[in-house]
């Protein structure tokens, strides 16, 4: 066989913004809904850079009825003069060229600190938009230029006069690139509020002008306006609003030779920690050297204070990093001139010098705070020492219960019906509510790769329990042993026994409660499994619709109505028949229905059966609708917004009653098909 020719002709050269359209994921992370919103974040980041430089105090984001988005700021406005070398307006260069912008200049005329340091943000948004329009308000004039897929469709021109200053970017994402082009108010609101907390004094407005809004956005008002004079101290209060707090937020900042360090922290009586880090207002979800420096300084400072105040005796061990972070909520924000981010999505800060900078500032300022507020300092140390005692108790419980079970050959839970395959990548575990559903699931499963673990009743609420108490619970202990990765310090994710862990509960209030308890358990103690996409929620059908020998399953009321409409059945007539039926049926029929705990509605053409529990389905039905990979539907649990998830779990499962009551009152009107 002849060798294939490899010459200059095989080398593909992508000019301008072609590389962005060729592989958009390299620049915005993905082309799903997260990548779509990343476009808005890039433009907003540029406006935030102006605000951090002191040039801008108002940013407005608008969702328009044609699917486009506009971001306007009152900063200095993108330069519009001709570039001396390229002989094109600076505006055009910034929006059509990678790595062009005011963030690469060597003098102070550009940006001292910047979030969009890669300099590709605006041009990437342009490349991935079917239409973009830039309006710059400078020198009393309005400068305009339009583009399509990264290329100018007109020369820059002056289009009228104005008293405003700033920049307005309007863009419409290319639906050929993205999986969806529908923006979410929820995602935008969360991000913009976060930016307003981080940039003290700036006002950020979000306005939804769309006449037809996505269903998920109907719960939101059309206008949000964020302005927080308290900055990240207010952010910490926001994160702790549903928790029992210790004192007021501790806030300090200091300008160092390596950059500005700003920290806000507050302890709560909860067991979980929330530490959020930022570099130049960019959320560093994977942390970095600034976060490492903060954690090291926190442990050292609290131990030093505890020793100095004789709160820790000579013979007692130092508090560990886990001890001092139990119940901690903190925001760490640094600003530096030349940050080194990993990847365009900037999830980790690589500047080693920021570890020393943050460590020095926290050591100094936190020690000073404790000296000035001895009562609060001693209360915080007391909280940490309580965590240390609980850690030692939990270690003893874990060593005797979990470590034996996994490392010394303790048998798997007796009620676990395991699968025969030993390859974790193809195995899945169904966590089933109750023995009745467990029986149907065991009969309907594929024994080769599907395992069943029935739970008896509702598991312990781990939001309000320490690890030692949790490990004493039989149902949780069985679950931990079945999954196989251990817990706490002994956790080893390589020992995961099932690639998919599926929560399968009834479609009623009790089932939803059990599902929430299980999700709380995984979120608090196995977030890595959620992040890696191992946790799923089964979707059993709500209805079985029969007509003669034909049967269809519906997973929602809308789907049921669609089937009935397709079959030409009058759904309204069926509803009336159902309401009148109790007066016409005899006692024997009513008794049978009560025992079976289900509703059957009949007309001359079809019958509808409402499943109130998995146990009502026989093994064949359960397998066909909920377990068979070829026909089932499952939801994968994600960590899309860990901050919001944490707040929700704290509200629903925490010890504070008032926030839970408020949550129920707020959402009561949106609940459909509530079984009482």
Residues 163-206 pLDDT 10s: 999 999 999 999 999 999 999 998 999 999 999 999 998 999 99
How does DSSP classify residue 401? I
In the chain the first and final C-alpha atoms are separated, in Å, by 74
Angle (CA) 109 112 117, round 5°: 105
- Altogether, the residues listed in the chain come to a count of 676
Angle between helices 289-308 and 353-372 (to 10 degrees): 30
- Farthest-apart Cα atoms in the chain, separation: 93
Share of the chain above pLDDT 70, in %: 80
**123-127, 277-281, 560-564, 670-674: segment of lowest average pLDDT:** 670-674
What is the pLDDT averaged over residues 524-534?
Answer: 88
Q: What is the DSSP letter of 460?
A: P
Hey, what are 176's tokens?
A: 């050929």
Whether 47 and 59 have beta carbons less than 8 Å apart is answered as yes
Catalytic residue positions, numbered: 433, 506, 508, 510
d(CA 145, CA 92): 8
Nearest to 381 by CA among 314, 329, 323: 323
Asked whether residue 117 carries a pLDDT value surpassing 90, the answer given is no
The band of 617, judged by pLDDT with boundaries at 50, 70 and 90, is confident
* Tens-digit pLDDT profile for residues 635-645: 888 876 556 66
Phi then psi dihedrals of residue 219, to 5 deg: -75, -10
Tell me the C-alpha distance between 114 and 120, whole Å.
13
**CA quadruple 506, 507, 512, 516: dihedral, nearest 10:** 70
DSSP assignment string, 225-285: EE--TTHHHHHHHHHTTTS-EEEEEEEEEEEETTEEEEEEEEEESSS--EEEEEETTEE-T
**According to the model, what pLDDT value does residue 502 have?**
95
Contacts of 636 (CB under 8 A, 6+ apart): 533, 535, 536
- Average pLDDT of the residues in 152-159: 95
Segment 592-609 mean pLDDT: 55
Residue % of the chain over a pLDDT of 90: 44
Report how far Cα 245 is from the mean position of its chain's Cα atoms.
24
CA distance 464 to 268: 13
pTM comes to 0.69
Mean pLDDT, rounded, for 579-604: 43
Domains in the chain and their CATH numbers? 18-226 (3.30.565.10), 231-391 (3.30.230.10), 411-540+635-670 (3.40.50.670)
pLDDT for position 576: 35
Q: Where are the alpha helices (DSSP H) in 484-586?
A: 509-525, 527-531, 557-566, 571-584
- What is the rounded average pLDDT of the residues 131-135? 97
Which pLDDT value is given to residue 20?
Answer: 85
603 token code pair: 């007309």
Asked if residue 639 lies in contact with residue 531, where contact means CB atoms within 8 angstroms, the answer is yes
Other beta carbons less than 10 A from residue 117's beta carbon: 24
List the structure tokens of 7.
């010459």
Q: What SS3 string covers 135-176?
A: EEEECCEEEEEEEECCEECCCCEEEEECCCCEEEEEEEECCC
Place of tokens 């002989």: 87
pLDDT value for 597: 46
pLDDT of residue 662: 58
Structure tokens at 347: 């999830």
Mean pLDDT value across residues 368-396:
89
| pLDDT tens for each residue of 458-488 | 788 887 777 777 877 888 888 988 998 888 7
3-class DSSP assignment, residue 414:
coil
| Lowest-confidence segment of 78-87, 127-136, 647-656 by average pLDDT | 647-656
Per-residue confidence band for 43, with pLDDT thresholds at 50, 70 and 90: very high
* DSSP string for 314-330: TTSPPPPHHHHHTTEEE
Q: Which residue has the higher pLDDT, 563 or 346?
A: 563
More reliable by pLDDT, 491 or 370:
370
Residue 389, pLDDT score: 87
Establish how many alpha carbons lie within 13 A of residue 238's alpha carbon, considering only the half-sphere containing its beta carbon: 18
Cβ pair 440, 618 in contact under 8 A? yes
Q: What is the mean pLDDT of the chain?
A: 82
Exposure of 555 in the CB half-sphere (CA atoms within 13 A): 10
Q: 492 pLDDT exceeds 90?
A: no
Report the candidate in 242, 241, 209, 202 with the shortest Cα–Cα distance to residue 225.
202
**CA 516 – CA 512 distance, rounded (Å):** 6
CB-based contacts of 254, cutoff 8 Å, min separation 6? 260, 261, 361, 364, 365
Give the model's confidence band at 380: pLDDT under 50 very low, under 70 low, under 90 confident, else very high. Answer: very high
The bridge status of strand 166-173 relative to strand 129-138 is antiparallel
Burial environment of residue 220 by CB neighbours within 10 A (0 to 12, 13 to 18, 19 or more): middle
178-188 confidence digits (pLDDT tens): 999 999 998 99
pLDDT at res. 10: 34
pLDDT at res. 653: 63
Residue 107 has pLDDT above 60, yes or no: no
What DSSP character marks residue 620?
H
């Amino acid at each position: 066989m002849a060798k294939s020719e490899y010459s200059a002709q095989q080398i593909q050269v992508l000019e301008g913004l072609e590389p962005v359209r060729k592989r958009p994921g390299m620049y915005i992370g993905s082309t799903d809904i997260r990548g779509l919103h990343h476009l808005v974040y890039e433009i907003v980041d540029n406006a935030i850079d102006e605000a951090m430089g002191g040039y801008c105090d108002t940013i407005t984001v608008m969702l328009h009825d044609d699917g486009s988005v506009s971001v306007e700021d009152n900063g200095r406005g993108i330069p519009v003069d001709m570039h001396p070398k390229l002989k094109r307006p600076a505006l055009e260069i910034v929006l059509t060229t990678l790595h062009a912008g005011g963030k690469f200049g060597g003098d102070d005329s550009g940006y001292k600190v910047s979030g969009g340091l890669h300099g590709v943000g605006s041009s990437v948004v342009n490349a991935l938009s079917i239409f973009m329009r830039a309006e710059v308000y400078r020198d009393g004039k309005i400068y305009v230029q339009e583009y399509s897929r990264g290329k100018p469709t007109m020369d820059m021109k002056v289009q009228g006069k104005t008293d405003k200053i700033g920049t307005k970017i309007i863009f419409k994402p290319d639906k050929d690139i993205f999986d969806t082009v529908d923006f979410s108010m929820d995602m935008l609101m969360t991000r913009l509020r976060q930016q307003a907390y981080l940039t003290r004094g700036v006002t950020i407005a979000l306005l939804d002008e769309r006449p037809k809004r996505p269903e998920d956005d109907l719960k939101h008002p059309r206008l949000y306006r964020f302005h927080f004079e308290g900055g990240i101290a207010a952010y910490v209060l926001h994160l702790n609003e549903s928790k029992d707090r210790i004192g007021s937020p501790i806030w300090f900042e200091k300008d160092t030779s390596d950059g500005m360090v700003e920290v806000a922290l507050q302890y709560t009586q909860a067991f979980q920690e929330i530490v959020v880090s930022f570099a130049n207002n960019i959320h560093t979800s994977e942390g970095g050297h600034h976060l490492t420096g903060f954690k090291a300084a926190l442990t050292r400072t609290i131990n030093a204070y505890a020793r100095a105040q004789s709160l820790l005796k000579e013979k007692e061990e130092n508090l560990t990093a886990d001890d001092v972070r139990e119940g901690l909520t903190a925001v760490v924000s640094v600003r530096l001139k030349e940050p080194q981010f990993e990847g365009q999505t900037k999830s980790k800060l690589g500047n080693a010098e920021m570890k020393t900078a943050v460590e020095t500032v926290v050591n100094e300022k936190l020690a000073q705070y404790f000296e000035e507020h001895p009562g609060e300092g001693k209360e915080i140390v007391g909280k940490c020492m309580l965590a240390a005692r609980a850690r030692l108790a939990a270690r003893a419980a874990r060593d005797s219960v979990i470590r034996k079970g996994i490392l010394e050959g303790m048998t798997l839970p007796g009620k676990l019906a395991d699968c025969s395959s030993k390859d974790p990548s193809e195995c899945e575990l169904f966590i089933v509510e109750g023995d009745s559903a467990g029986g149907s699931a065991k009969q309907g499963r594929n024994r080769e790769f599907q395992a069943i673990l029935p739970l008896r009743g509702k598991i312990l609420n781990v939001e309000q329990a320490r690890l030692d108490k949790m490990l004493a619970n039989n149902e949780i202990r069985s679950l931990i042993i079945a999954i196989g990765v251990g817990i706490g310090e002994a956790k080893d994710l390589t020992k995961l026994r099932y690639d998919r862990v599926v929560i399968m509960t009834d479609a009623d209030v009790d089932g939803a409660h059990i599902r929430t308890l299980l999700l709380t358990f995984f979120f608090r103690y196995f977030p890595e499994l959620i992040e890696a996409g191992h946790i799923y929620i089964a979707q059993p059908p709500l209805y079985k619709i029969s007509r003669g020998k034909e049967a269809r399953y519906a997973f929602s009321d809308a789907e049921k109505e669609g089937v009935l409409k397709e079959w030409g059945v009058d759904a309204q007539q069926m509803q009336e028949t159902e309401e009148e039926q109790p007066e016409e049926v005899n006692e024997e029929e009513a008794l049978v229905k009560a025992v079976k705990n289900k509703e059957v509605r009949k007309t001359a053409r079809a019958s509808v059966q409402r499943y109130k529990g998995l146990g009502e389905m026989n093994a064949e039905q359960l397998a066909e609708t909920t377990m068979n990979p070829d026909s089932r539907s499952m939801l994968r649990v994600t960590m899309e917004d860990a901050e919001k998830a944490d707040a929700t779990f704290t509200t629903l499962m925490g010890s504070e009653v008032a926030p839970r009551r408020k949550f129920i009152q707020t959402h009561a009107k949106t609940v459909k098909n509530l079984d009482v």
